[in-house]
Amino acid sequence: MRDELQRVTLDRRPVQLLAAVAAVIALGGCAEQLGLPRAASDQGETVGQVFNLYLIVAYVIGAIVMGLIIFVMVRGRASRHGDGPGSQRHHNTPLEITYTVIPLLIVGALTVVTLFTIGDVASDAPDPDLAIEVQGYQWGWQFTYPDSGVVITGDGGTPTELVLPAPATVRFTVRSNDVIHSFWVPAFRFKRDLIPGTPTSFSVDTNEIGTFDGHCAEFCGLQHAEMTFTVRTVSPSDFQTWLQDHEG
Amino acid sequence: MRVEAILWTTALVFYLIAGGAYWILAGDPVGVTALLVASLFGAVGGANAWLWRRRIGDRSEDIADATIAANAGQIGYFPASSAWPLPISAGIALVALGVLFGLWTAVPGLALLSLGAARVLDESMHKR
Amino acid sequence: MTSTTSEASPSGEELEPPTTEIIRRPNLGLVDWLTTTDHKRIGILYALTSLVMALVGASLAGIIRGELALPGQQIVGSSTYNQVFTMHGTVMVYLFAVPFAFAVGNYLVPLMVGAPDMAFPRINMVSYWLYLLGALIVLSGFLTSSGAASFGWFAYPPLSGQAGSPGLGGDLWVVGLMLTGTSGILTALNIVTTIIMLRAPGMTMFRMPILVWDMLLTSFMVLIVFPVFTSALLMLLLDRRYGTNFFAPESGGQPILWQHLFWFFGHPEVYIVALPYFGMVTEIFPVFSRKPMFGYKGMVLSTMAIAALSTSVWAHHMFATGDVYLAYFAVTSALIAVPTGIKFFDWIGSMWGGRITFTTPMLFAIGFLFTFLLGGLTGVILSSPTLDFSLTDTYFVVAHFHYVMGGTVVFAVFAALYFWWPKVTGRMLDARLGRWHFWLLLVGFNVTFLVQHRAGLEGMPRRVADYPAYAPYATENLISSLGAAIIALSLVPFVWALIRQWRRPEPSGPDPWDGYTLEWLTSSPPPEHNFDWLPTIRSERPAYDWRHRDTDGVGALGPDDPWRRRTLHDTKWFPLHPWVEEHPGSARTGPPPGTPVTREAEESPDA
């Protein structure tokens, strides 16, 4: 990501404005999160709002178009009109321009919302509360806390547990030495591929205490399906205790 | 050939713009190369179409009120059957498989390929 | 052969289009098929081979759905499962969807533009053999001791490298796809040349059927991206067999390079798979609505826009790598929704105010509309990187591309099969069985894939052989597997209809649907080199205009137009197959050349 992300992180004021518009549209339908499981991070909540917006727009457009198709079929059925030629009209330029411009506006608006939220979601905080190094391998995970020297390595049996404080800004650096894996925690609504030879980093602002599933999301060979882990978020004080237990 | 020429030229212009924009924005050499090579496709096709249009003008298929009779006469050679496509393809496959099973399979492969190519050439020259 | 140009008398009475019986061709046996260079036979070979591949791919899908039906269920085990889903994707995308489009292109493009054959008949057959051999080589991986390729259909290195997947199956996958890739390039070249050089007089570019436009632009895309893919495969092969390091990170290679090269091919590939099928349904909607195509130019321009944009959106498959410029690809990917929307409204416009008959091809085309609508909407959601980070590589994506590449292709394939079957064989397919087939497929398809959206949102990653019993998506998987069974069941009426038309053929005549395009003016099946006779071409519906040439205000032409001056075209237009010359009249739609066309001449049977 590095500098690319900074470039797409545009001025913040329109972001808030658009997020407000998005939230109004999203809340107009229902206040709840549609479809996705509960979020456990600030980034996840932003994703949830954008997803609500996109989903409602998709439902509305889908309903309109599907309604149109059914209407046209029912109205134009030959059993109602008898055989014979239909209307021989083969174009209507103003209408065609209309149905080019309207989708363009809708898609444009959605894309603007996306562009203003990419930077929030794929963030990379320079000064995190906690740094974690994630190493994926065939087929397990190793989580390193470089500041305290704690290393948690999967043993192939029970899912490896990643313990994080919440609320906190956590910066992950992901790397792999064999094949491509992908670090995915559905509750964070984010995933990042582990490309061998190219470590990347991103940050997550945890805000929920609980236990969440994590998967490898990029197919990585024989035991890809078993390459799971769990994320347990605890309060910052509990986290310090946990860290001290595992140090040394 | 006018519409065809415009079609290729559009491809050329589009890929130049897309490649240029991508170069400035992302600076990723792989994508830039791919897009610029794609623009070459437009350049080659477009140049060919414009040149032929200049040389022969509108053909009967470009003229809106042409009659079918306008194309009377032989328009090409279209054999209804030929035994040689199979040996040609088998030859290519054998050469490719040589990478996996030892390059010796490339020997019969190349033999089939050249035999087939020669026979097809012969067919075309004698309109068999 | 004499050059004859006979014109009709001014009264126009003898202008009935020639009627045709089913032509019994001499059966020259298997050799005739193996050495053919006739585009129609090659098209049939392509279609049969790709449908066999579809059956292979569908059987593999059956194994996948069986394995995933219940948590902990092991039918084949992880190792075989990985081979199975890899080959399912490979077979469906590379060996079924693209070749079937080429089958239709091969059969119909020369007929629709009024050409005697493809521009390069023998190269055409070389393409077919390369495709068949390539397909067999890819599939032969199952016969090796280490099994078939098992690195997913997009073969990300280092997993697809020598260290990640040492078996012979992977090498066979690479070599086989290089051959089918070469075959695709040759076919595309052939289609472009045919469309540019062999159109009938008066068939201007903007009178070509939309299917021909779509095949042309698809071929353009093939010519741009298949060479990239084939060379990337060559690089992968060199990495695997000769120790080069294009993609191996430990020696300075770049795994991400493969992803760029692959998706530069892979995303246009999605549209290479889609556009010809859009073309097929575009031919079907107007015919059964008794309307002209609505918004012809808009449709052509939107196809061009899709073809162009699709080659600059590739990295939206790579958002999660954190190594691509997100904004560029977010904008271009979202933009594709606009031309796609135009197509939708053009299709609806083609039915608007029509007289719609719900024949089997029309039903399948409408099924295509519904599935494509859903796939398109989820596509807009996935184009947003914000959401894609969360949704990519989950079953949400699996559901999305099964709607856009699976459902649409399958519905369009059956629409095309039911629509052009009479043209290809001269026999009708049973309409009642066709309706059963349609409804079962529609229900089965949606039961299978609609719930997969939900499974993905709930956190099911793709390409897993198993999932824990407590997973929230266990129920969805069971429903999905039941849906797959319904899909399998839907084939029963289809196979029954095939058997029925085989045992008790119902002759279709040359034009059972009142079609619009030139192929309906020749016999069913068409003779060698397609046409003995062509009408004057004055619009994108020459066959419709021909039928309505005497009706004021219905056809594109009034009664005084030069339309009436029908001309028999010269038989020297193309050299006929020797057999046709020995049996004059036996393979013809109209009267032999040189004979003045009169009612009496037509009524007297040929034989």
Asked whether the beta carbons of C204 and B62 are under 8 A apart, the reply is: yes
Asked whether the beta carbons of C142 and C82 are under 8 A apart, the reply is: no
| Residue A13 to residue C135: CA distance in whole angstroms | 56
Report the residue count for chain C: 607
Q: What is the mean pLDDT of each run of 10 residues along chain C (607 residues)?
A: 36 41 53 88 96 96 95 89 96 96 96 91 95 96 93 92 90 96 96 93 91 96 95 94 89 90 94 95 94 91 94 92 90 94 94 92 96 95 94 95 94 97 91 96 96 94 92 94 96 95 85 90 82 80 78 42 30 33 36 35 36
pLDDT of A14: 54
B81 pairs with which residues across the strands?
Answer: C36
Chain C residue numbers with beta carbons less than 8 Å from the beta carbon of B7 are: 205, 304
DSSP C319-378: GGGT-S-HHHHHHHHHHTHHHHHHHHHHHHHHHTT--B---HHHHHHHHHHHHHHHHHHH
Contact across the interface for B100 and C119, Cβ inside 8 Å: no
Residue of C nearest to B94 (CA): C133
- Contacts for B45 with CB less than 8 Å, ≥ 6 apart: B8, B11
Rg (CA), chain B: 22
pLDDT digits (tens, 9 = 90+) for A131-184: 999 999 988 999 999 988 899 988 766 788 999 999 999 999 999 989 999 999
Cα separations in angstroms, C428 against C48, C105, C501: 18, 21, 7
CA dihedral C509, C515, C516, C519 (to 10 degrees): -40
Asked whether the beta carbons of A206 and A164 are under 8 A apart, the reply is: yes
Asked whether the beta carbons of C173 and C140 are under 8 A apart, the reply is: no
- Contacts for C391 with CB less than 8 Å, ≥ 6 apart: C381, C382, C397, C456, C457
> Lowest mean pLDDT: which of A1-5, B77-81, C453-457, C566-570?
C566-570
Contact across the interface for C353 and A7, Cβ inside 8 Å: no
| Residue A34 to residue A25: CA distance in whole angstroms | 13
Q: Which residues 9-48 of B have a C-beta within 8 angstroms of C?
A: 10-11, 14-15, 18, 21-22, 25-28, 30-31, 34-35, 37-38, 41
Once rounded to an integer, what is the mean pLDDT over residues B92-102?
92
| Residue A200 to residue A179: CA distance in whole angstroms | 15
Q: Starting from the edge strand earliest in sequence, which strands make up the sheet with A160-165, in order?
A: A160-165, A228-234, A210-216, A181-185, A190-194
Once rounded to an integer, what is the mean pLDDT over residues B105-116?
94
What ipTM goes with this model?
0.95
**Minimal Cβ distance to A62: which of C165, C373, C392:** C373
**Closest to C538 measured CA to CA, from A69, B65, A17:** B65
Q: What is the Cα C607 distance to its own chain's centre? A: 37
Q: How many helices (H) and strands (E) does chain A have?
A: 6, 10
| Residue C50 to residue C57: CA distance in whole angstroms | 10
Q: What is the Cα C363 distance to its own chain's centre? A: 18
Residue A230, H or E segment:
strand A228-234
B-interface mutation test, from C140, C187, C328, most B Cβ less than 10 A away: C328
| Residue A161 to residue A149: CA distance in whole angstroms | 16
- Map C185-225 to HEC letters: HHHHHHHHHHHHHCCCCCCCHHHCCHHHHHHHHHHHHHHHH
- Considering the entire predicted model, what is its pTM? 0.89
Asked if the C-beta of B69 comes within 8 angstroms of chain C's C-beta atoms, the answer is yes
| Residue C603 to residue C527: CA distance in whole angstroms | 20
